[in-house]
Amino acid sequence: MPEIKANATTLNYRWDGPAEGPVVMLAHSLGAHLGMWDWQVPALTEAGYRVLRYDSRGHGASAAPERSYTMEMLADDAVGLLDALALDRVHFLGLSLGGMVGQVLAAAHKDRLFSLILSSTSAHMPPPEMWEERMQAVSVDGTAAVVDGTLDRWITPAGQRRQPEAVERVRAMILGTPTEGFIGCCTAIRDLDQRDANRSITVPTLILVGEQDQGTPPAMARAIHECIPGARLEVVPGAAHLVNVEQADLFNRTIVAFLDQQRPAPADR
């Protein structure tokens, strides 16, 4: 997969789908990489969309500088990637950390987005002490220190029994995340507060959350929904945090239907 310089770092990215299709940019969660979207790419490309996935700073095959990150920095990485690829505007789908990036993008760079899909995310993630403890554990023992607890928050017990191969793929993503990148993104999440800024979001927005999500529960999704005029909220049954994996078919139908609604009418093309 190609790499590109963007916002003074190196980002790994991948294209899928028809060259002339509307571009959907996908941003993954903390402790994952662009492979997190393998469950979505076939549905999106079959619907005619061109999919742009990338590894966030500090994750996957992207660079992992040793420093504190901010959510604004991560959003600037996304803008830098768009600039480097000569993309003016895209549809943006972000889950968890990626959804936080999406909120910053839609508030501060709304001219770069056609629409926004936020999944399993929040505008604010207190308490800071929880993130300090998580960062300390990872600094000592790497992401192995948090992998079991993370999987239990991300996928329901029933989902883990039903999809053991998916669980192992997600486990490998978490364990493969560089310590520097995991800690850097934890600082960005710790310091996030988009509650006021989200009121300025005007692009069409869809919000999804798993009914059993422990990390970013439905109450957090409802709080985002209340701040964004005209936003649509969907609570997905039978899913925890990785709703895109645990209920992939329903997730895919919902996002494709939303994206199709943003296409111009035939007379306007």
Q: So where are the chain's domains?
A: 3-263
Q: What is the CATH number that goes with domain 3-263?
A: 3.40.50.1820
Mean pLDDT within 152-170: 98
Mean pLDDT within 54-65: 97
How many Å apart are CA 94 and CA 75, to the nearest integer? Answer: 11
Backbone CA torsion sign across 172, 53, 207, 77: positive
Q: How confident is the model at residue 229 (pLDDT cuts 50, 70, 90)?
A: very high
Pick the residue with more confidence: 37 or 65? 37
Q: pLDDT for 164-189, tens place per residue?
A: 999 999 999 999 999 999 999 999 99
> For residue 66, which amino acid is it?
E
Exposure string (b/e) for 86-119, b if CB count within 10 Å is 16 or more?
A: eeebbbbbbbbbbbbbbbbbbbbbeebbbbbbbb
Q: How confident is the model at residue 265 (pLDDT cuts 50, 70, 90)?
A: low
From 113, 131, 59, 122, select the one nearest 95 (Cα to Cα).
122
Would you say 200 and 218 are in contact if contact means Cβ atoms under 8 Å apart?
A: no
Q: Which backbone phi and psi does 89 adopt, to 5 degrees?
A: -145, 150
Q: What is the pLDDT of residue 263?
A: 82
Backbone CA torsion sign across 149, 154, 160, 165: negative
Whose structure tokens read 């078919």? 249
Average pLDDT, the chain: 96
Q: What is the pLDDT of residue 264?
A: 73
